[in-house]
A and B are shown apart, each in its own frame.
Chain A
Amino acid sequence: MNGATPPWYKSLSLRVLFPLLLVLSATSLASFIYSEKLLERVILDQVRKQAEVFLIGLERQIQEFEEPFDRQRLEHLFKQVLQAHDLRYSFSIDEIYLYRSNGEVVAHSDQQVHPPKEMGGKYGAVIRSGESYLHGPIEEIGGDQQSHSRNTDIIIPVTIKGELVAALEAELDITQTEQIIKSIDDEFEAIMRMITLLSALIAAIVSSIMLWTQLIRPARAYELVLQQSIEEGQRLNEAKDDFLSSMSHELRTPLSTIIGYHQLLLDEPELKTRYREMINDSLLAGQTLQQLVNDLLDMSKIRSGKFELSHHPFDLQKLLQDISRLMRSYTPEKDVQIELAIDPALEPLLQQQWVGDEVRLTQVLFNLLSNAIKFSPTSGTVTLSLQDETSQQSSETEHFFIVRVVDHGIGMSEEVISHLFTPFEQADSSTSRRFGGTGLGLYISRQLIEMMGGEITVGSQLELGATFTIRLPLGVTSETVATTTSPEQDRKASTQLLTGSVLLAEDTVQLQRLTEMMITRCGATTTIASNGLEAVKKGLEEDHSLILMDMQMPEMDGIEATRALREAGCTTPIIALTANVMPHHKTAFEAAGCNGFLSKPVDPEILCAVLNQYMQPAEGDDKNDSIETAPFTIDDSVMHDFWEDLLDSRQALISTYQQQNWQQLSFTAHAIKGMGGSFGYPEISELATQLERSALGTDSDQCSSDYQALDQCLQQHNPLEQ
């Protein structure tokens, strides 16, 4: 349906033809119904007219003739009159009578003797009223019982010199007339019928054309457009999801750069408090953004159906322990207690590993627990519990568990609960302003749990709190809980410097720099390769302790490079750096020859732990032997030096004070301050700081009291003074 002006035939048919045809059909239909009645009237009117005309002529003749009339004469008269008036008649005269007003028959067309006409009845009525009377047509059967004729009786008043003196009665045979008129009428009828039919046909054709163009074709067009719109919508949705996941790398890289550098900055020991606060706030903002990006990417992956769950055995009890421990340190200022309540009846079941997606389950629990903490009052309690599913759902291959997160926070109304798992909706706008959050967490959590074959339900009462219940099946496996060391456990391990070089194959410049900083922080050196080809070349030509291989690089990706290196005989351990930690990816990495993998964005602690696995600690003095960060101990000889120096300093303090050499007093105090601080005597340091200031000040009382305080302190602490 285009918006062009409708073609000429359309408007013409619409406005003119169509109504016209409608009218025509209507009128012909009507006339068809009424034609019977018309017939009669037409005939009779015809007859009357002709009779009247005849009689006007006859009247004159009557005045002229006085002899008795016979039929021939009368008929002759008729013809003469009629011819004089140039009229044709198609009726035959049966009988004519001429009466005077008293009933006396003046003339008649047949030979019989007629009695005078009665004054009553139709004859009398005519004489009295002066109006002609028409009777019939009536069927008359002829003498031979065979012929039928149709007759009309007509009585016409006659006036002579303005005086009503007589009546003329004539019986007219109008059979032929009728037939003629009827045939005319028949023709007329036939024509009308044809017109009716024709117009109905045309009307039908035109209206079906109208119907087609106005309704059916546009409807088809609408259908097409609708179909196209649906397809377009689907395409756009897919494109959006494709766009989002292809942007995933572009979105995640700068974010991980920001967060990585912030974390490294926070590790700077000399960072001013003000700067620390600023950087911390900035880091939190970055982490919030990262969470949002992850949520959005998850959501689009789930919606586009490209989401894969992994199925690996894991330790369920450990997962719950780890996450409750993690959440305890999540918002320390709120001081919310996390209780872990595992049903003791589950003890035997928890000796074995269970198959499921550990990472995603952790994500869900993290989401529920952080919500619970968020809405809990200060010093409230959140309970994470694990129970057995009591109904008979469990089977040979899987077992149902019930995990509950219970809080005693502000609770939710029925209304809120109904919208709870809808994306982007929060309890209400004031909640989002108060508590933050993206509104996606619960939606994603429900999607994840349902994909795992379980369900999440929620129960809540306002002011009393909420309970989120997860019913989840986990697969049975025969593997028992292994004592595998997770990277998290190694987190506390060595912060000692390592030695050796790492070949870093990474194409994104920002990540090259960031990762390199993390590597040198652990003590190792870094060589950079910007793509797979370079990585293979350097890996074969140079000697490295470890190769970190980004799996997505131009020219030659990580998997190809790894394969190439292995085929060339390179035995250096290779660790894959990847954003895709899907099960099939892991298998691919292992098959290519990788020894392990690290997920991007790279956590500096985890990286260090991995480096420690494959590299040697730096060779140094024997004092560097310990695995753990040995707390630095000041040995006795150094301490002795300290006390000796402190003796001297005290002497200097006394003499400069007595000499009232305030400048020098301040310097000495400054030196004592430094010593006190470095050797672990903050009280000495503080007192010395005060004296350093007041020695140069104007308040001599303050100065002397500070001096005395410091002097006393030095005496007390220094073992050499005793």
Chain B
Amino acid sequence: MKALVIEDVRSVRNLLSKMLTDSGVNHVAGAATGAEGIKEIDQGGYDLLFLDIHLPDMSGLEVLTTLRKSHPKLFVVIATGYEEVDTVQEIIRLGANHYIVKPLQFSNIQDAVSRYQQTKLLEKQAR
């Protein structure tokens, strides 16, 4: 399992990475901007993406839209602030697989990872 975290605040990025590792993700990488993140994903090998909505160069939703076309199987989790929960519908419509609400809670991260695992299994069964 390989995951990428796109988050501009370094400490938060590190925190999220640690939470992911503790949730059972073997490899976690980080990117500070949307563009960086897109480049990293395009290099391939990623199963999971954690994406903050607020990025310095573009909105997380833009990143999502871009990546969704080229990486349909990528499991994308959007991190939103509490007051942005109303945009969840929009987020899902654009192709996100899951969302977590900030402030970050470990249980939410764990849950997101298990969601990913479930999806993977369902896909396997469907074959």
Contact = CB atoms under 8 A, between A and B. Distances in A.
Interface of A: 268-270, 272, 497, 517, 520-521, 523, 525-528, 618, 620-621, 623-624, 631-632, 634-635, 637-638, 641-642, 644-646, 667, 670-671, 673-679, 685
B106 A645 contact: no
A340 B17 CA distance: 49
Contact of B100 (A270, A621, A632): A270
Given A270-B85, A618-B24, A520 B118 contact: yes
A523 B117 contact: yes
Given A270-B99, A525-B124, A621-B22, 8 more contacts: A270-B85, A270-B100, A497-B24, A620-B24, A642-B15, A674-B102, A677-B103, A679-B15
A525 B121 contact: yes
5 contacts: A520-B118, A520-B121, A645-B9, A675-B11, A677-B103
B54 interface: yes
Contact of A678 (B8, B12, B24): B12
A497 B114 contact: yes
Contact of A685 (B21, B22, B26, B103): B103
B81 A644 contact: no
A677 B102 contact: yes
B104 interface: yes
A96 B112 CA distance: 155
B108 A269 contact: yes
A616 to B, nearest CB: 14
B21 A621 contact: yes
B15 A634 contact: yes
Contacts of A670: 54, 81
B60 to A, nearest CB: 13
Contacts of A526: 121
Contact of A674 (B9, B24, B85): B9
A523 B9 contact: no
B38 to A, nearest CB: 21
Nearest to A525: B121
Interface string B1-17: 00000001111101110
B107 A269 contact: yes
Contact of B85 (A272, A521, A631): A272
Nearest to A623: B22
Contacts, number: 90
Contacts of B62: none
B81 A674 contact: yes
A364 B26 CA distance: 51
Interface of B: 8-12, 14-16, 18-19, 21-22, 24, 26, 54, 81, 85, 99-108, 111, 114, 117-118, 121, 124-125
Contact of B11 (A497, A621, A642): A642
Q: Which of B21, B105, B121 is packed against the most chain A CB atoms within 10 Å?
A: B121
A687 to B, nearest CB: 14
Contacts of B124: 525
Contacts of B107: 269
Nearest to A517: B118
* Interface of A (DSSP majority class): helix
Nearest to A646: B11
B11 A645 contact: yes
A632 B106 contact: yes
B21 to A, nearest CB: 6
Contacts of A675: 9, 11-12
B121 A632 contact: no
Nearest to B115: A520
A638 B114 contact: no
B115 to A, nearest CB: 9
A403 to B, nearest CB: 41
Contacts of B103: 674, 676-678, 685
B11 A638 contact: yes
B118 A269 contact: no
A590 B125 CA distance: 31
A676 B9 CA distance: 12
Nearest to B80: A270
B99 A677 contact: no
A638 B21 contact: no
Nearest to A645: B11
A270 B105 CA distance: 10
B32 to A, nearest CB: 12
Give me the 3 closest cross-chain CB pairs, A-B, nearest first: A677-B103, A632-B106, A642-B11
Nearest to B119: A520
A527 B114 CA distance: 17
A52 B14 CA distance: 161
A513 to B, nearest CB: 11
A644 B13 CA distance: 13
B101 A671 contact: no
A671 B100 CA distance: 16
A641 B15 CA distance: 9
A635 B18 contact: yes
Contact of B15 (A520, A521, A523, A678): A678
A193 B77 CA distance: 120
A268 B111 CA distance: 9
A593 to B, nearest CB: 27
Contacts of A671: 8-9, 54
A518 to B, nearest CB: 11
A520 B118 CA distance: 6
Given A620-B24, A623-B21, A521 B114 contact: yes
Contact of B22 (A272, A523, A632, A667): A632
Contacts of A525: 121, 124
Q: Which of B12, B106, B111 is packed against the most chain A CB atoms within 10 Å?
A: B12
Contacts of A521: 114
A644 B108 CA distance: 26
Contacts of B81: 670, 673-674
A679 B19 CA distance: 12
Contacts of B8: 671
Contact of A270 (B15, B19, B101): B101
B102 to A, nearest CB: 5
A638 B103 CA distance: 16
Contacts of A623: 21-22
A523 B116 CA distance: 11
A441 to B, nearest CB: 37
Nearest to A693: B83
Nearest to A522: B114
Contacts of A497: 24, 114, 117
A642 B18 CA distance: 13
A675 B14 CA distance: 11
